[in-house]
Structure 1
């Protein structure tokens, strides 16, 4: 068993992403060593991101994530207090576009209610597994709950990013209403 971080998680802001802690706890639970992606989740330009992804060590971790047969992930919201907005990677212009078009994000990749990528340029600057690559996993486990994530969870299920949902009773009841 290998535990591999599927997206960059280093933050230059005061907000903690808990990316390291999540990988560490999974690694302890499965008595293995975690494989960390020691990068920010987004770069300023596509060219910088592509150059860094060519590094043999980074490429190896990204490839391990792509090869994994199980992915465990959550969804983020596009509300003003969303973690990705607090991290400082997204400027006001991009934030406005995202909040107009997106239902949520998985691995920092924003998608609409139909499961389509919302901002191609921003997506190209994002480090980690692509949503289409995620769809190829045998088990795609979405762990999410709460009223504030209903829209994002629905869109993730509609986009077929998850084939297993782990949630709470109240969120499940809300999802079943439609």
Structure 2
């Protein structure tokens, strides 16, 4: 994880220029990237949170710590989403997203031309399964059908959204908007993430990839 973070940080540092909007997500991998960043002589950079990060349990997403370290490295201004990543009710989510400040942050996330993110594995101990947002039925369905998640958007082996009702309650950038960005840096490694990573690459979500050798071999074996 430390090496993934270090190399992910190096790739991002090469890509970010003055005045740029940079979209970031959260999780253990992104926190590793954040901790590995070094001070960069940049001006006018803004770091935008691409999805909500509040947890309903004691397990922390480190979303605030992650974006703080990104801002420190690039002397940047933070644009945060102080919301849960998944709401209990889709109508409530739509009302909240209509608030002027929240709508502005979501618009900035779509406008950012550089994004750095990871994929989530579909395992019972995965972070997103343990933040208190999913019902038991949703957990069971995702464990059966999902291949992974990007920006907390769960997809199947064909790259299609699993559980549209759950997706409608999710706060964050849509996968269709992510795919339009100029620079999409995907940082992910480990056996548990190989399936999710392979699907994400086939779906065209990344322009840059940081992974480890064994995971790369496993993804290539899937393709073969």
- Paired position in structure 1 for 2:152: 108
Determine the structure 1 residue equivalent to 2:29.
none
Map of 1:23 onto structure 2: 67
Shift of 1:23: 1.1
Q: Deviations over 1:33-66 (max 9, x none)?
A: 2111000001111100000001111111111000
In the alignment, the residues of structure 1 paired with residue 121 and residue 184 of structure 2 have an alpha-carbon distance, to the nearest angstrom, of: 19
Aligned to 1:140: 184
**Alignment length (residue pairs):** 178
Distance 2:177 2:200 in 1: 14
**Equivalence for 2:41:** none
TM-score of the superposed pair, with normalisation by structure 1:
0.96
> Cα RMSD between the aligned structures?
1.0
Paired with 2:219 and 2:120, the residues of 1 have a C-alpha distance of: 16
Hey, what does 2:14 align to over in structure 1? none
2:89 aligned with 1:45, yes or no? yes
CA–CA distance in structure 1, aligned partners of residues 122 and 217 of structure 2:
22
Distance 1:174 1:105 in 2: 18
- Report the counterpart of residue 48 of structure 2 in structure 1: 4
Unaligned runs of 5+ in 2: 1-44
TM-score, normalised to structure 2, is 0.77
Look up the match of 1:58.
102
The CA deviation at 1:167 is: 1.1
The answer on 1:155 being equivalent to 2:194 is no
CA distance in 2, matches of 1:123, 1:162: 21
Which residue matches 2:20?
none
**Structure 1 CA distance for aligned equivalents of residues 156 and 203 of structure 2:** 9
Secondary structure of the residue aligned to 1:26 is: helix
Is residue 116–residue 159 contact of structure 1 (8 Å, CA) maintained in 2? Answer: no
Q: Counterpart in 2 of 1:81?
A: 125
Point out where structure 1 has 5 or more consecutive residues left out of the alignment. Answer: none
SS in 2 for 1:157: helix
How far apart are the structure 2 equivalents of 1:56 and 1:125?
Answer: 19
Q: CA deviation at 1:121?
A: 0.4
